[in-house]
Chain A
């Protein structure tokens, strides 16, 4: 970095600015939209100058959507809470199941091991719509339709393979000798797993958990089919803004801003864990 000429630094800065602009402009625009009335949004040509309004946010938070056609009840805050609950519970369960499984796949060679691991990964290939029809029939019979437990269970299709495969790679990168050294020192297999393997794979587990959380949060189609308004997350709840009297762009923008906030905050918080390279210097270079 110190050895860059002025020209290089300028070019670098311009390129970074362009990339940031390209990726962040939609988010920036949505953020602006969330403070505009529908009339401002639909004006042609669009303008950066408008009278900001908090009406979109207040409608979302109070749950009363006032439009030309009258007042409409929306369950946005409930949906947001559903999203938090569903995603968090799904990731926690996927971590509890997936991390030991990932360790087993990384460390032990057993019959059908690779096949089982691949089958779990293949859940990610299957188009969700393909499984949804049979699944919704089964769920009706089992009484799982429109329950949190049912949704969390289905979300394992998203979270478990991700965690399993990402964390497995991290476990495979750990030198088995480090774990053996701990066991030779007299520690049980389980203590070695919790005191050595899990802390050393920590950054990987955090990354996989975060990614799984984002994928769960953004899921749309499972919740659309398997849950009613009462249990739906924000992704499905946003459909409520497409009303008989028109599409409420302002509220949609505000809803996006509010629903992106938790994942964004989580990503920013977890970032330092993701980049922390713990295993540096443990073995000979």
Chain B
């Protein structure tokens, strides 16, 4: 068993509290993406698990063993540092092999293992080079190979794709999930790119403001973000947020936008008459030329074609600005001017403006 358990861990630096009683557990073989804006303490959390930093309070258990007071070399984890942290006076081969030389592995087995992982990561041709002779992508792969080579049961990856160019990042984002799954390791993967988190994580732990805002599967986080903050961190373009006040009517709860009344899905009866924030993703807004029941008259103010989709900036009669996105650009380019926006009522999200928490629909 190689599960990771972080129990109400706090860490404070001179500059202030970074983590405040946070807890997280990862099952054996699970990949948990730790996502959050920069400076939110993701790296600190990873370093606590590696034993490079000590928590002020709380316990850390790896494979059921309490390692809170154990030195990093006794934890048998693999870690890739964000700044690579390669040993500049050793060749790439020795860098990778360093994870094996600590354990009295015979030389020929070391060679075989290093070459195997190097081939997997396509750095076998630069194993003889010193770190300063490697490109950023090769350095990143060397650091990753060093973390993987000893086949650790627990793998900690600190934003390993941050310092590599866009093309390589895209390739690695495709390759990494199968690579990590094949390793069978329990993985904590730190990233500040929501797409990377969604592509790699079995679950995503969203770190914000010293604590996890939400820990859930990618689809759950995207479809049901716990807070306004989480909702706006996931998605491109950023989710549309509008202050609204649902009205009770005979046909359920309605929301008035730009002169039209939209029906809310059932379960929001308790919100009637209370101010809240409406969250609606760009891809759940359909812009049409003709009016339909519950569509909102809008003006298309700006059109941004991005190869696979088009972004539209809409303005309603009461002056709200809304971003919508349409798939494909094959049809005739969309014109500026009057149009009608239809909202997918099922995907509407409501948030409490005071706490920022999502208001879940209540069962009837």
Contact = CB atoms under 8 A, between A and B. Distances in A.
Contacts of B222: none
B98 A282 contact: no
Interface string A265-285: 000000000000011111111
**B-side interface size class:** 35 or more
Interface of A: 175, 177-178, 180-189, 191, 196, 199-200, 278-285
B131 A281 contact: yes
10 contacts: A178-B87, A184-B72, A184-B77, A185-B99, A186-B150, A188-B73, A189-B71, A189-B73, A281-B133, A282-B132
Contacts of B50: 180, 184
Contacts of A187: 73, 98, 101-102
A180 B77 CA distance: 12
Interface in B106-140: 130-134, 136, 139
Interface in B41-60: 47, 50-52
Nearest to B156: A184
A173 to B, nearest CB: 12
A37 B81 CA distance: 69
B126 to A, nearest CB: 13
Given A184-B77, A185-B102, A186-B102, A283 B71 contact: no
A283 B132 CA distance: 9
A71 B21 CA distance: 87
Nearest to B130: A281
Nearest to A181: B85
A186 B73 contact: yes
Nearest to A177: B85
A272 to B, nearest CB: 15
Contacts of B77: 184
B85 A281 contact: no
Given A184-B78, A281-B131, A282-B131, 5 more contacts: A178-B87, A184-B79, A187-B102, A189-B73, A281-B132
Contacts of A189: 71, 73
B304 interface: no
A282 B87 contact: yes
Contact of A185 (B51, B71, B130, B146): B146
A283 B51 contact: no
A17 B193 CA distance: 58
Nearest to B102: A186
A58 B89 CA distance: 48
B189 interface: no
A21 B146 CA distance: 54
Residue in A178, A181, A182, A184 whose Cβ sees the most chain B Cβ within 10 Å: A184
Interface in B66-105: 71-73, 75-79, 81, 83-89, 98-99, 101-103
